[in-house]
Amino acid sequence: MKTWKKVVLGSVSLLAAGTLLAACSSNSSKENSSSKADSKTLKLWVPTGSKDSYSDTVSKFEKESGYKVDVVEMEDPNAQENLTKDASTAADVFSLPHDQLGKLVEAGAIQEVPSKMAEEVKKNDTEQAAIGAQYKGKTYAFPYGIESQVTYYNKSKLSADDVKSYETITSKAKFGGNLKEANGYITAPLFLSVGDTLFGKHGEKVTVDVSIADAKPENYDALLIPGGFSPDHLRGDEEGRYGTFAKYFTKNDVPTFAICHGPLVLVDTDDLKGRTITGVINVRKDLSNAGANVVDESVVVDNNIVTSRVPDDLDDFNREIVKKLEA
């Protein structure tokens, strides 16, 4: 069980999950013998509050397969963190937001879906759902839910042509509000990427004047990646544009600064092997899996890359940034 890679599968695919996990048993006959007692039990993580909705599917699966399923409620967004903490204690089958898939693949925590089943996903699901189950062109999951975003607008203020794109919307109308209350996970990237102004809690403001689609790394003298949850969301970009953008800086020895969760973006540069860096504690496993030498220090300088852990390290972080920029 400890050597199994976890397979991300939807609830409708429990039978397939059982087959895959049985085929991915330990390479050691000794381990096979010692784990024989629990080899017919699968652990299933389901979203909090949804355990009852899985009962019929689980019951049917248990009767058909001979496996026993241990169903545990777990918040979807926490799946990635809980899995990377200790894969040996994680669920065999679980759900998670699609934008966490890439990090788990890079960490070696899950395995690719067999080609026959991958073809079934492409055949039976919508194009966007199938893409959401992929990472770098390979399928690692079974889609079982998809969200649709709907735009409401005031027809007395905007025409049908005005709302054809976010560029036209923001050129004709203003958007304001607390990002947390307005579901910043969805709205912030959309509105901030087309020239809106972001106001900080201390009154500072930043206007976004270029999107990732138009930004050219060679036009910049340095790269600063702040923390928060944004770096994790940026890694969910299907085209991998943020990692590609950052790679220009790491490969060409251009000053690169990242703090807290910020170093996650550097994982997608594929340029961390042998580098010494730091970051907030819950991203260090990802950094280590990318080949970095991870240390627990307030600030770390490795050639052109400067990294820090948390806001309390800002004095040290800013000091080293100034040194690099003045060099």
Closest alpha carbon to 259 in 209, 204, 320, 210? 320
Instruction: Kindly indicate the confidence band of residue 163, based on its pLDDT and cuts at 50, 70 and 90.
Output: confident
Question: Among 56-60, 151-155, 298-302, which stretch is predicted with the lowest mean pLDDT?
Answer: 151-155
Residue 24 has pLDDT above 70, yes or no: no
24 catalytic, yes or no?
A: no
The CATH number assigned to the domain with range 11-139 reads 3.40.190.10
Residue 33 has pLDDT above 90, yes or no: no
The percent of residues in the chain predicted with pLDDT above 70, rounded, is: 74
CB 129 within 8 A of CB 146: yes
Which ranges in 88-235 belong to alpha helices (H)?
101-106, 115-124, 127-132, 166-172, 184-192, 230-234
98 catalytic, yes or no?
A: no
210-326 CATH fold: Rossmann fold (3.40.50)
From 24, 202, 233, 261, active-site residue: 261
Residue 182 has pLDDT above 80, yes or no: no
From 24, 202, 233, 260, active-site residue: 260
Question: What are the tens digits of pLDDT across the range 72-125?
Answer: 887 766 666 667 666 677 778 887 777 777 777 877 778 888 899 889 988 988
Distance, in Å, from the CA atom of 305 to the CA atom of 287, rounded to the nearest integer, reads 14
Residue 29 has pLDDT above 80, yes or no: no
Distance, in Å, from the CA atom of 43 to the CA atom of 69, rounded to the nearest integer, reads 6
Distance, in Å, from the CA atom of 89 to the CA atom of 69, rounded to the nearest integer, reads 15
Which ranges in 90-224 belong to alpha helices (H)?
101-106, 115-124, 127-132, 166-172, 184-192
Task: Work out the average pLDDT over 31-43.
Answer: 56
Q: Which residues make up the CATH 3.40.190.10 domain(s) of the chain?
A: 11-139
| Amino acid 135: pLDDT | 85
The percent of residues in the chain predicted with pLDDT above 90, rounded, is: 29
Q: Which residues make up the CATH 3.40.50.880 domain(s) of the chain?
A: 210-326
Mean pLDDT of the chain, nearest integer: 77
Report strand pairing: 134-135 vs 299-302. unpaired
Distance, in Å, from the CA atom of 320 to the CA atom of 186, rounded to the nearest integer, reads 34
Closest alpha carbon to 39 in 61, 65, 57? 65
Looking at per-residue confidence, does 265 or 97 come out higher?
265
Looking at per-residue confidence, does 188 or 172 come out higher?
172
Residue 186 has pLDDT above 80, yes or no: no
Instruction: Kindly indicate the confidence band of residue 194, based on its pLDDT and cuts at 50, 70 and 90.
Output: low
Closest alpha carbon to 297 in 315, 306, 284, 309? 309
Residue 128 has pLDDT above 60, yes or no: yes
